[in-house]
Structure 1
């Protein structure tokens, strides 16, 4: 089966095609410029499939990183996969953005800390153990203060590798915690890839387009501001 994997959860716009029978990546593209994913994603997917000498009809599963990540970016990737799967009557798969990044470093035996900058001194974070090329989940996705995430890592004596755009934030936090077994993944392996999405999707449940939903770990900024404004207005009325 051929899997098309898409990740638009952060700044990079990523797509890849993976052949599960051959265990081979047929093509992978990462675009990391200042253009929005709504501009870059579909041309990237179209050219990727064409350059692999395939058609969209050849794809057996459309997979996407469904979060955590940028609210707008997630919606763009999920909408694209929903549209493709619906038009071609093919199944979808949703995979964790953090889990997909853990598959970037399967050449190493270590604990992987996948971390994304959630702003306000917070990270989206999950831990995985990589051993013999296999990825095992250790924790669920959480939104934590960086010092809380660093204390979580202090429980592990293994070599720890940081991936994601929160890697440098977490390295500072772990240095402050006095951890000496933590290092940042090499640049080509540090960020999102469509290949990681494909590998994570191999054993993921297959979904209909209607079942495909984003995974948010905290409310969008606009919604948080509205809730705070409403709470303040309610407080003023009570007074």
Structure 2
């Protein structure tokens, strides 16, 4: 089974191909939100590197959010278009789940944080139970003070992946002390390989859909929509 997976939910654009449970290729670029320019060349370069075409895929997966509204639309639309052309199913993977999966088998509490501006983050809290990721809270869009209150009430070390991990590292260390740490640089950002591995699990459980049904998960309205509603 082959799955092509994308994550464009944050500044990092990343694509990966999984074949029979093995990541055979992964490309990433974390240099500004230029996904509309970089993504398709990245995908084509990756396919060329592994000697495959989009039609060779059995399914296509995308990180559906929460995250950047524009980035999510680009990634989801790209996956839907490729799946439609190849007449293959799609698999939706939540961005926060994939970020947590970067730290597979960690014994710590895992708390992905995606920057939502004004000291707010998109987040959820996880732990691993064996090789399975267990989510302990809802998907949240909250102020970092509220998140710290949630984590203070929990026991154990807390590790933060996500693009806001280093941004708020000092704050979480102040609130949680030595319990808090940002994820290592090679695991802190979005990785399409994690999206692909979670997509494989979902595919095997029959949790896939046709390309028309895949939608971004924004979690909350954009700032422009909120201001319009005032």
The interval holding the TM-score normalised by the smaller chain is: over 0.9
Distance 1:212 1:203 in 2: 17
Aligned residue in 2 for 1:174: 172
Aligned residue in 2 for 1:218: 220
Distance 1:78 1:182 in 2: 33
Aligned residue in 2 for 1:100: 98
Aligned residue in 1 for 2:135: 137
Aligned residue in 1 for 2:16: 16
Larger Rg: 1
Aligned residue in 2 for 1:43: 41
Q: Which runs of 5+ in 2 are unaligned?
A: none
Distance 2:54 2:219 in 1: 32
Q: Name the SS of the counterpart of 1:197 in structure 2.
A: helix
- Give how far 1:203 is off: 2.6
The number of residue pairs the alignment matches comes to: 226
Aligned residue in 1 for 2:194: 196
TM-score computed with the length of structure 1 as normaliser: 0.90
Bigger drift between 209-218 and 103-112 goes to 103-112
Deviating beyond 4 angstroms after TM superposition, the runs of 4 or more aligned structure 1 residues are: none
8 Å contact 2:157–2:180 — kept in the other structure? yes
Distance 2:69 2:156 in 1: 33
Aligned residue in 2 for 1:88: 86
Aligned residue in 1 for 2:158: 160
Q: Name the SS of the counterpart of 1:218 in structure 2.
A: coil
Backbone CA RMSD of aligned residues: 1.4
Deviation digits for residues 21-46 of structure 1, max 9, x if unmatched? Answer: 3x211000001223611100111111
- Give how far 1:139 is off: 1.6
- Give how far 1:156 is off: 2.1
Task: Identify the match of residue 69 of structure 2 among 45, 68, 71.
Answer: 71
- Give how far 1:168 is off: 2.5
Q: Does 2:152 match 1:150?
A: no
- Give how far 1:131 is off: 4.5
Q: Name the SS of the counterpart of 2:124 in structure 1.
A: strand
Distance 1:199 1:161 in 2: 21
Task: Identify the match of residue 62 of structure 1 among 50, 60, 72.
Answer: 60
Distance 1:9 1:86 in 2: 21
Aligned residue in 1 for 2:109: 111
Q: Name the SS of the counterpart of 1:15 in structure 2.
A: strand
8 Å contact 2:148–2:176 — kept in the other structure? no
Distance 2:76 2:5 in 1: 11
8 Å contact 1:106–1:131 — kept in the other structure? no
TM-score computed with the length of structure 2 as normaliser: 0.93
